[in-house]
Amino acid sequence: MEVADLTITKARQGLFKKEFSAVELTQAFLNRIEKVDKDISAYLAVLSKTALDQAKEADRLISLGTEQPALLGIPCAIKDNILIKGAKCTAASKILENYQAPYDATVVAKLKKQGAIFLGKTNLDEFAMGSSTENSAFKTTKNPHDIKKVPGGSSGGSAAAVAGGMAVYSLGSDTGGSIRLPASFCGTVGLKPTYGAVSRHGLIAFASSLDQIGPLTKTVDDAEIVFKAIAGKDPLDSTSVEVLKEKQEFNIKNLRIGVPKEYFVKGMDPKIEELVKGAIKKYEEMGAKILEVSLPNTEYALPAYYVISPSEASANLARFDGIKYGFSDKEAENLAAVYQNSRGEGFGPEVRRRIMLGTYALSAGYYEAYYLKAQKVRNLIRNDFKKVFDKVDVLMTPSAPSLPFNIGEKTKDPLSMYLVDIYTVSVNLAGLPALSMPIGKVAGLPVGMQIIGRAFEENIILKVAKLYEY
């Protein structure tokens, strides 16, 4: 059975037309992972046994023949910073190498309720801090389109699993572009939902005011199916809300697309610019109105992000103390040494770098110059979007300034790695939804376009994206 190109819709048809069983489907994916993943390294753990058990149960439900949820019997992959009860959850960090999740993340519980099949846990930059998946403590994931290139990050394993045909869909998390960048680099669809649209309960926290979980899929239709399955208010995440805006009339002739001029500046690959402008042109031909707009504070988004996210990370990662769970230096001579040695050895270089950056930005004497200032700039960036969304319905931009780069190319200079997020971080600062979808290739490597919408208007973004795809 050929499973590499299966979408959710096609897999479901096959299951319900009895062309194959969920067990056969799952086994075919496990075989493919066995064959392909030694070159790609998308997975940190493959959950063969539980996946096949879930498949058996799915087959039983399918045989009942009644109305069944959209994701029943469909095999997926989960980023290894999202908890599945009983499975290891490492966040690709040595400090959590042996951590076994004691409960399900809300998104996982919701997928389980639909009868989803979990093939395994995918690789990421340690604690989701990175743009290439090279910061994993365990392995480097390769781009399925060219194994010399990075898959993007931090959800690189989730993107490579889908692009490499090793899962029908996957879940990732996005703090500054960690779903959209790997989606763009690997040629998949990736949706970062509005802040609060999806529960963060059971997601290992990186920067709590920025983190969101979202789907990586082969088609926009699939992204919509998964998003609907995981969205909604959750009593276990008090920042989650019910997604309200559902029924809106949509007509491409009334659609106003904004093209922010600050996203098309020198430094970006001209071939990417050409592809993105070509895609926008297609929308114009379909009848949409294209307007050049300005988000004047765009250049301050990345520096603000690299104050705010490490600050929140330094606070969130204080919980890793070598006492409650995770790696611990048991030979340390006193309590302070337990903390320092466990954290010093357990965290990798990039995580330590960000903890130190955040600690500095929050420390007495520097708080106002860095953290408070960045929070004010954040407000300016949000206001830029507010103003622009009075005039347009969606924004279209490149997802990344460059093509997938070589493995090892940017690891020596952390700042050059940070600059890869230049088109994605503003969206997290403002809490908006955005999708990256493939629009073509340059030199055999995928290029993604980003569509940004108003808060809780994922449905508009998805409708707009579908028009291009079909």
Partner 1 sequence: MLSQKQVQQIASLARLNITQEEMKKYQEELSSILEYIEKLGEIDVSSIEAMSHPGELKNVFRTDEPREEKSAGLIELAPQKKDGYLKVKSILKKEK
d(CA 424, CA 176): 6
Is residue 409 within the footprint of partner 1 (CB under 8 A)? no
DSSP secondary structure string, 205-238? PS-TTT-EEEEEESSHHHHHHHHHHHBS-BTTBT
Q: Say what the alpha-carbon torsion angle 302, 265, 298, 440 is, to the nearest 10 degrees.
A: -80
Show Cβ contacts of residue 336 under 8 Å, excluding neighbours closer than 6 positions: none
Verify whether residue 328 is a known catalytic residue: no
Among 88, 352, 441, 466, binds partner 1 (CB under 8 A): 352
386 contacts partner 1 (rule: CB under 8 A): no
> Rule CB under 8 A: which of 242-271 touch partner 1?
none
d(CA 351, CA 187): 28
146 binds partner 1 (CB under 8 A): no
Q: Does 367 bind partner 1 (CB under 8 A)?
A: no
Binding string, 155-194, against partner 1, x = CB under 8 A?
A: ----------------------------------------
Q: Does 336 bind partner 1 (CB under 8 A)?
A: yes
Q: What does the alpha-carbon distance between residue 421 and residue 434 come to, in Å, rounded to a whole number?
A: 14
Considering only 131-139, 274-282, 350-358, 458-466, which stretch makes contact with partner 1 by CB under 8 A? 350-358
Compose the 56-95 pattern: x for residues touching partner 1 by CB under 8 A, - for all others.
Answer: ----------------------------------------
Residue 170, strand partner residues: 77, 216
Nearest to 222 by CA among 164, 179, 162: 162
Is the CB of residue 173 less than 8 Å from the CB of residue 203?
yes
Residue 368 CB neighbours (<10 A): 9
* CA 387 – CA 132 distance, rounded (Å): 33
Q: Which of 41, 132, 136, 154 is catalytic?
A: 154
Query: Minimum CB separation from partner 1 for residue 360, in Å?
Result: 5
Q: Which helix (H) or strand (E) holds 25?
A: helix 22-40
Closest contact distance (angstroms) between CB of 220 and partner 1 is 24
Query: Which single residue is written with the structure tokens 């997290």?
Result: 428
9 binds partner 1, rule: CB under 8 A: no
Q: Phi first, then psi: give them for residue 392, nearest 5 degrees.
A: -130, 165
Nearest approach in angstroms of CB 124 to partner 1 is 21
* Residues classed as catalytic: 79, 154, 178
Which residues of the chain form contacts with partner 1 (CB under 8 A)? Answer: 99-100, 102-103, 195-196, 209, 235, 238-239, 241, 297, 299-300, 303-304, 306-307, 314, 318, 321-328, 330, 332-336, 338-341, 343-345, 347, 349, 352-353, 355-357, 359-360, 363, 370, 372-380, 382, 414-415, 418, 429-432, 455
